Amino acid sequence: MATISEQEMLRIYREAFPAVALMVRNLGGSLESAKDLFHDALVIYCEKQSAGSLEINVSERSYLKGIPRNLWNRQFRNRLFTTTLDESDEEAMYFEEN
């Protein structure tokens, strides 16, 4: 199992993080969100590389940009389906009155 050196990690960060930060900003997220998502992507990348199960069919940068995009989409989807009953009741009452 190979581990990633600190120099390699810095190279990956310099090459891939700006694209992730721009993507997250364009999706309405913050720099802090971009950092969190990229950190998660690096953890996934390193775990797969250490386990020998890393298969990349695109550039490393694209791969590391794709993971945060998928995580962002999953979070967005989860937010869509977590409307509370109170919010639904308020909307229904509004429409019934008008």
What would the pLDDT profile of 28-87 be if each residue is shown by its tens digit?
899 999 999 999 998 888 888 877 777 777 788 888 888 899 898 888 766 666 655 555
Tens digits of residue pLDDT in 4-25? 788 988 998 999 999 999 999 9
Question: Distance (Å, rounded) from C-alpha 62 to C-alpha 53?
Answer: 17
Higher pLDDT, 3 or 74: 74
- The H helix count followed by the E strand count for the chain is 4, 0
pLDDT at 49: 80
Alpha helix locations (H) across 28-84? 31-51, 60-80
Q: What is the pLDDT of residue 52?
A: 76
